[in-house]
A and B are shown apart, each in its own frame.
Chain A
Amino acid sequence: MRLFAPPQLSLRFIPVWQRNYLVWKKLAIPSMLGNLADPMLYMLGLGFGLGSLLPQVAGVPYITFLAAGTVCYSTMNSATFEVLYSGFSRMHVQKTWDAIMNTPLTLDDVMLGELTWAASKSLLSGIAILLIIWVMGLQTAFWLSLWIIPIVILIGYCFAGMGLVMNAVSPSYDFFLYYFTLVITPMVLLCGVFFPVSQLPPLLQHISLFLPLTHAIDLVRPIMLGQIPAQAWLHVLVLVAYGSVGFYIALGLTRKRLLN
């Protein structure tokens, strides 16, 4: 098999998705709390604490500004953690993938199952933040804000696809720290989660343009403020591209790792 042959995708991935869902369901409450507490505390703590010191950010109260960023980065984190730590457990530690590949399923099915599962799980994280936003009435137009739901799935897809690349090349859990310190954390700071990208020096603003989280936020923030995002299709395309290219590279590298 050529390692970078196109993915062979079929609905056979569904039992893999289902397996992950059923395991998650057993631990749903602690898992949800763990996933949500952190972004929620940041949003509320910084939103009210720092927000009380700031007149307005980008023309709106700081917590409103922060809320859009929090939806995106919480979704990103959720998808990333799922494919990195949980995915690595299943692939490398528990050998769950090996067990599945002894059945009629192939690696392509397993990885598509992981990708769709991580996107599904991150949807829950995004929606949970969205619920708080609705309860607090931070959105401008409720019906428009429903658009955030499909966008959250797209963000989950994007970062799950990217994260699977790290999973493919990682020798151990420790390796993932590099991805967080070199990719995820810089993105949180460069892509407009906590402050507008326009506050950055020009060079960093340019870099920011190429990062997927920027495009996620460029979709979600206008919607929160009741506007239709400018160049929406461009942002959607960037997220799809990062996720798809990531998945394709991850599949090739994982084939090399497991099927060689």
Chain B
Amino acid sequence: MSVLSAHNLRKSYGAQEVVAGVDIAIEKGECFGLLGPNGAGKTTTLRLLLGLIEPDAGSIEMLGEPVPSGARRARQRVGVVPQMDNLDPDFTVRENFMAYGRYFGMRDAEIAAVLPGLLEFAGLTNRGDAKIQALSGGMKRRLTLARALVNDPDLIFLDEPTTGLDPQARHLMWQGLRRLLNQGKTIILTTHFMEEAERLCDRLVILDHGRLIATGSPRELIAQHIEPSVTELYGEDAAQWRTNYAAQLCERHETVGETLFCYSRDSEALMQNLSAQSAMRYLHRPASLEDVFLKLTGRELRD
């Protein structure tokens, strides 16, 4: 049985259908990614799933409860890490946990009992009395995650959990999320970082203009949509190279600005050719989820 499922979910604002028939089924213990360019409907979908807004059509079931009618009961067992930190700036780290636990109806003694474990999880063991303003961006983010665990949720929502974090903080966040998955928690996350989705997600969907345009594991999606290897050629020589060799050496190619993307299956001949061109700057790499994402959603800016 799914931990969270939605069928034919729809939500419009004025004439614009922001969520236009989304179907999702998330299994227990998996990390499920919700990807999409800005304005694709990710945050609206999350808010619908949490029961904060009502869908125009469709049905949702979360942890056995119908949403939104039973959302309050379902949220008792859910943790949410929002896109923007909304920690209580007037409280210390410890007080943030206490206040948040009370919203779940926990008694102070119950919250105090889980507090040391949560502080350890956030890497803030000695910072219980620290003011929020004194924490770094990464610490705040980990605290927000740990705060979402105060009620020992079965399902955790993460809306862009690592946006704005440096690589160290990001890796620490990923470790934390893996620990939660190992404990059997279910995670649904949105992200702009394809690398993050590729590392963490068992399955993911790509959302664009309110519709799901792809579903699968990261590896399936790459195999399905993109040739296994990608070579990026840079600079003025790339255009000339394209005229001379692209048709012969690339299975598929595209030019973005001054960069030529050459997609291929067997890249041996291509590599031999390129190593002979001493002046050419290029990068040869395996295909990634980002290639899939850009192929499916296009390269135009969405802001």
What residues of chain A have their CB less than 8 Å away from a CB belonging to chain B? 1, 12, 15-16, 18-19, 22-23, 26-27, 94-96, 98-106, 259-260
Contact = CB atoms under 8 A, between A and B. Distances in A.
Given A103-B75, A260-B53, A18 B90 contact: no
A97 to B, nearest CB: 9
B167 interface: no
Nearest to A100: B103
* B73, B78, B102 interface centre (most CB from chain A within 10 Å): B102
B91 A1 contact: no
A175 B100 CA distance: 31
A100 B13 CA distance: 25
A233 B53 CA distance: 41
Nearest to A26: B90
Interface stretch (B32-40, B80-88, B274-282, B287-295): B80-88
B116 to A, nearest CB: 21
Interface string B54-71: 100000000000001000
A260 B73 CA distance: 21
A94 B52 contact: no
B104 A19 contact: no
Given A15-B102, A19-B99, A100-B103, A106 B88 contact: no
Given A23-B90, A23-B91, A105 B82 contact: no
B102 A102 contact: no
Interface residues of B, number: 30
A27 B90 CA distance: 10
Can you list the 8 inter-chain pairs with the closest CB atoms, starting with the nearest? Answer: A95-B86, A102-B80, A103-B103, A15-B102, A99-B86, A23-B90, A19-B99, A104-B72
Contacts of B76: 104
B82 A99 contact: yes
Contact of B82 (A18, A22, A102): A102
B213 to A, nearest CB: 26
B99 A102 contact: no
A1 B99 CA distance: 28
6 contacts: A15-B102, A95-B82, A98-B82, A99-B100, A101-B52, A102-B75
B91 A22 contact: yes
A104 B53 CA distance: 14
B89 A94 contact: yes
Contact of A98 (B86, B103, B104): B86
B52 A22 contact: no
Given A95-B86, A96-B88, 17 more contacts: A16-B103, A19-B88, A19-B102, A22-B91, A22-B95, A23-B88, A23-B90, A95-B84, A98-B82, A98-B86, A99-B86, A99-B87, A101-B52, A103-B75, A105-B72, A105-B103, A260-B53
Nearest to B95: A22
B24 interface: no
B111 to A, nearest CB: 11
